[in-house]
Amino acid sequence: MTEYTLNNKFNSPFNKVQFGVSIGERNQLEEFSKVLRSGARMVEVDIASVYGLMREEGNAADTISKTEREAIANLAKVNDVDLSVHAPWALNFSSLNPESGKKDAAYGHLVENEIGAALQFADDIGKKMGRKNMPVIFHASSDNFSDPDRNLIYSVYDTEEKKVLQVPSQEIDLGVGSLNLSDPSERKLKAEKAFSEIYGDELYNKIFGNKNNKSLGLVSDEGKVILKPEGAFEFQKAKFSQQFAQERSSISLNLRNLEYQRLDALRRMGAAKASSNRKELEEAQKDLEDSESMIKNIKEKREELKIQEKNIATKFVPYDEIAPKLAAEGITKAAMFSYKNTESKPIVLVENPMSPNMSLSNPKDTAEAVKIARQNFAEELQQKEHISRGEAERISSELIGINLDVGHVNVFKSYINPKTGKLYSDKDVVEMSKSAADYLKRYHLNDNMGNKDNHLPLGQGNAPVKEIYDAMMEKGLDVPAIMEVFGGLGGLESGTIQSLQYMGAPIYGNVPYVSLPSYLGQPYSSIVGDYSSYSNLGLKQDLFSYGGFSNIFPAAWR
């Protein structure tokens, strides 16, 4: 591992930081050879964009042959390169199918196969290199079951059906917009009163807010109630409760009537015995048995209803609250696969996904998933492998961690922070990133304008990279960083150089470098961004005559 001494405006946060480059999908061996000529001694092999789950010919890792794996391993070993692997991002650790939102056995099997193939790929290279614990980076999810702005969508998880429900906004017409109520304010007051009378004060306070609640809805000038998605969810739960209340009332009435029928049958039996009327006695006995049977059945139904009503609070839960727990199940399985089925024990690193409308995109939630996974994995090691608690916890913390993607967090800037009511700021992005600190093992560095994961070179966007590094280093964290900077003009080659220049590497001068031949050779790498292919970009050897990254800033120049 090489330490890179940088200076200039990033002097403190980037002093002695460990730095590397991500190489592209499809032509990894060729890309790896080019990156080696630059002097980089930390490289991430990307199989992420070969969407394994969408391929018919097998897993993404299968596209890299045994011979190519051995060649990559030999190059890395000879050149003392620290390798990591980026697994396909289109994986859901929760095994919830992004299309249906349901636990799907077939989809879950595909996910497990893809995770296993990525870990096996890392193990094959690790064994050849004689290296343990190669990091394998997985996105925490690939769904669209979340959104930081609950005014747009509210995702709920049905714990019984094991399915995600996405609740939209809802409009309720209370019928108060008549001609005699032409005054909008009068209509609003009338609508609020009507809502309270129909649905009760408790739901009214929950929807429209009191001193302890935010507003989940509003009344329009036309006298209609407009519920936000979260308010619509509360409204639906209230309707369930009302349904239960109606069923309880119906059951009570039926029980009362059946009890009258039972008493009447007993009375008729007594009279039939007294008059020795055998036929009447038999009919009365049958009516008694029928009424008692129905009473038994309806009492059982009442008990079932009690259970359903009691469980209504746990049947539907906000998906954001349960997503870390569901993802932790998959993370635990991945770690156990690494521990039991590989020789070199690759590390499972969980990355915050690339869009805020994916679950676990907030590093706080990614951290929660990793925390639960570590606990679960340690418990499984104790119970199934009979390992001591202390050793199990050590192994768990070693094999499971977080890869923080700075660019992904920066995309939150396109959304409203519910705490402040304003767009997420640099400060918010830094604070969100800090929540990953306890489990941080790697970074992905790239830039964007806060609206899309573009993988721009550092300095071409507005991501607070320096501030995040400052915050982490204040916590004593100095972990390796991989540059994913192939989304700008000129692709990977130019992006790497511009990023190094931005971080204060004076060897490259003050003018941004763009390799026009490289750009023309693979223009899509410059304009498509995170879905680009950069396998044909050529690195110019003459630019790296100073030994590349390892000698960016000679001590004599300081």
Query: What tens-digit pLDDT sequence spans the chain (558 residues)?
Result: 444 444 433 333 333 346 677 776 567 777 787 777 766 778 898 886 555 454 555 677 777 888 888 998 998 999 888 899 999 888 899 999 988 999 888 888 888 989 999 999 999 999 999 999 999 999 999 898 988 887 788 999 999 889 999 888 888 888 776 545 567 777 788 888 888 888 888 888 888 876 555 788 888 877 788 898 988 988 888 877 778 888 888 999 999 999 999 999 999 999 989 888 989 999 999 999 999 999 999 999 888 888 877 777 778 889 999 999 999 999 999 999 999 999 999 999 999 999 999 999 999 999 999 999 999 999 999 999 999 999 999 999 999 999 999 999 999 999 999 888 899 999 999 999 999 999 999 999 999 999 999 999 988 999 998 899 888 888 888 888 888 888 877 777 778 778 877 766 544 444 444 443 443 333 333 333 333 332 222 222 322 232 333 333 333 323
Say if residues 233 and 158 touch (Cβ distance below 8 Å): no
Q: Is 550 left (phi over 0), alpha (psi -120 to 50) or beta?
A: alpha
Q: Which two tokens stand for residue 134?
A: 């190669």
224 located within any domain: no
How far apart (Å, rounded) are the C-alpha atoms in residues 167 and 191? 23
* Number of domains the chain is built from: 1
310 located within any domain: no
314 located within any domain: no
189 located within any domain: no
CATH value at residue 13: 3.20.20.150
162 located within any domain: no
283 located within any domain: no
How far apart (Å, rounded) are the C-alpha atoms in residues 94 and 138? 13
186 to 174, 217, 223: CA distances (angstroms): 14, 18, 9
Collapsing DSSP to helix, strand or coil, 205 comes out as helix
Find, among 180, 234, 178, the residue nearest to 206 by Cα. 234
Q: Which two tokens stand for residue 151?
A: 């005014």
372 located within any domain: yes
Domain containing 96 equals: 8-150+319-557
How far apart (Å, rounded) are the C-alpha atoms in residues 437 and 440? 5
Rg (CA), the chain: 31
pTM value is 0.78
Please name the amino acid found at residue 328: A
The pLDDT of residue 212:
53
Residue 531 gets which letter from DSSP? T
C-beta atoms surrounding 510 within 10 Å: 6
113 located within any domain: yes
The pLDDT of residue 296:
93
The pLDDT of residue 520:
39
